[in-house]
DNA sequence: TATAAAACCTATAGTAACTATAGAGTCAAG
DNA sequence: CTTGACTCTATAGTTACTATAGGTTTTATA
């Protein structure tokens, strides 16, 4: 299949697919007579692996590490473990931060008597200092 | 005070301060004989306003809007309200996403029997397909 | 068969919000 | 008077894409 088709079945944009290839996350596909990329089922699997990792917010560099590891199946998987643990820490950290944000934004929202003026806006006041 | 001092008291990096100025979020400060930026208390207040907004993850463009509104105190504050509400929606959305991530990452972490090989790594398996 | 439209190609620039660097000028202390 | 700390501007790099320009190939229609 050509790139447009792969884009459709994978849900990744055409540019993103080409970008992943450039970044070394996907194997170079074969090319047609006229230099069009030609993909098969294996390519789709590869792309889905990347996509799944991205859904977990794993950075491209880390995904590259995972792909490299897949090619060394004998190796200890502790680095995979570390990578996931790191990701989990990040996510937990970010959730904490966002919950703090949420509280403050909620307070701000309440502070605004909606059809007041900027001058007397409760929100604007909470932003000062 | 000079930029290094402002950086210290505000907790923003020197580059960030210059960047905010370039983006029109801070008034151009006066300059010394030798072309150094000279700040006063008012500058610090301005910077702290921006910083506070950034802590709430409000985008620079929206902060600019808020600053513009401050200069028109008579105006209705409904746009401020909208802006904060929009921000709150985003934060809530992101928290939801991150909680989903968290669950999946936790499952993955459990799937890994730590000192296994890549080949038999439970995490790697959850990433396939 | 001609041609137009759709799909594809590469290379480059833009996005957000900074951070880092290069290369030069300014200023205070010893 | 020189050394080192600080500042200046301008530019490039970061992440993970998205968008665009300008060109080629394929496919569908007339």
Torsion of CA B103, B105, B109, B112, to 10 degrees: 120
Q: Mind listing the pLDDT tens digit for each residue in A51-105?
A: 998 988 889 999 998 898 888 877 878 888 888 888 899 889 889 888 988 888 8
Q: Is the CB of A49 under 7 A from strand D?
A: no
* Residue A108: band (very low, low, confident or very high) from pLDDT cuts 50, 70, 90: confident
Q: What is the arithmetic mean of pLDDT over A7-29?
A: 95
A99 domain residue, yes or no = no
A40 domain residue, yes or no = yes
Percent of chain B predicted with pLDDT > 70: 93
Per the structure, the count of domains in chain B is 1
A7 domain residue, yes or no = yes
CA–C1' distance B93–D5 (Å)?
47
- Taking CA atoms, A18 is separated from A8, A22, A34, A54, A59, in Å, by 14, 6, 17, 16, 17
B62 domain residue, yes or no = no
- Tell me the angle at which helices A14-22 and A3-10 cross, rounded to the nearest 10 degrees: 100
The count of other CB atoms within 10 Å of the CB of residue A80 is 25
Contact A76 B48 (CB under 8 A): no
User: Which residues does B54 contact at the CB level (< 8 Å), separation at least 6?
Assistant: B60, B63
* Residue A129: band (very low, low, confident or very high) from pLDDT cuts 50, 70, 90: low
State the pLDDT at residue A105: 85
Q: How many residues does chain A have?
A: 129
State the pLDDT at residue B6: 96
Q: Can you give the residue range of the structural domain that contains A45?
A: 1-58
The count of other CB atoms within 10 Å of the CB of residue A64 is 15
> What average pLDDT does chain A have?
88
Residue A113, pLDDT above cutoff 70: no
Kindly list the residues from chain A whose CB atom is less than 8 angstroms away from the CB atom of residue B84. 105, 108-109, 112, 123
CA–C1' distance B52–D18 (Å)?
30
> Which of B80, B89, B90, B109 to probe by mutation at the A interface, max A CB count within 10 Å?
B80
Q: Mind listing the pLDDT tens digit for each residue in B6-33?
A: 999 999 999 999 999 999 999 999 999 9
B72 domain residue, yes or no = no
Contact A75 B118 (CB under 8 A): yes
State the pLDDT at residue A74: 79
* Residue A29: band (very low, low, confident or very high) from pLDDT cuts 50, 70, 90: very high
Q: Mind listing the pLDDT tens digit for each residue in B79-114?
A: 888 888 888 998 898 899 889 888 888 888 887 766
A93 domain residue, yes or no = no
A18 domain residue, yes or no = yes
State the pLDDT at residue B129: 53
The CATH number of whichever domain residue B45 belongs to comes to 1.10.1660.10
Chain centroid to Cα A80, Å, comes to 18
**B94/B73 Cα distance (integer angstroms):** 32
User: Which residues does A35 contact at the CB level (< 8 Å), separation at least 6?
Assistant: none
Percent of chain A predicted with pLDDT > 70: 95
**B83/B89 Cα distance (integer angstroms):** 10
CA angle B54, B59, B62 (to 5 degrees): 110
B46 domain residue, yes or no = yes
**B6/B50 Cα distance (integer angstroms):** 14
Evaluate whether B118 touches A74 at the Cβ level (below 8 Å): yes
State the pLDDT at residue B33: 92
Residue A45 — φ and ψ, nearest 5°?
-60, -45
State the pLDDT at residue A39: 97
């Amino acid at each position: 299949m050509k790139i447009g088709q792969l884009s459709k079945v994978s849900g990744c944009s055409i540019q993103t697919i080409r970008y992943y290839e450039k970044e070394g996350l996907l194997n170079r596909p074969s090319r047609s007579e006229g230099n069009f990329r030609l993909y098969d089922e294996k390519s789709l699997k590869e792309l889905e692996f990347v996509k799944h990792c991205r859904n977990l917010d794993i950075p491209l560099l880390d995904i590259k590490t995972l792909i490299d590891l897949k090619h060394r199946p004998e190796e200890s998987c502790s680095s995979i473990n570390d990578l996931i643990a790191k990701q989990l820490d990040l996510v937990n950290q970010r959730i904490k931060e966002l919950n703090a944000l949420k509280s403050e934004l909620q307070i701000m929202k309440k502070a605004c008597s909606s059809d007041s003026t900027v001058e007397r806006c409760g929100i604007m006041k909470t932003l000062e200092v």
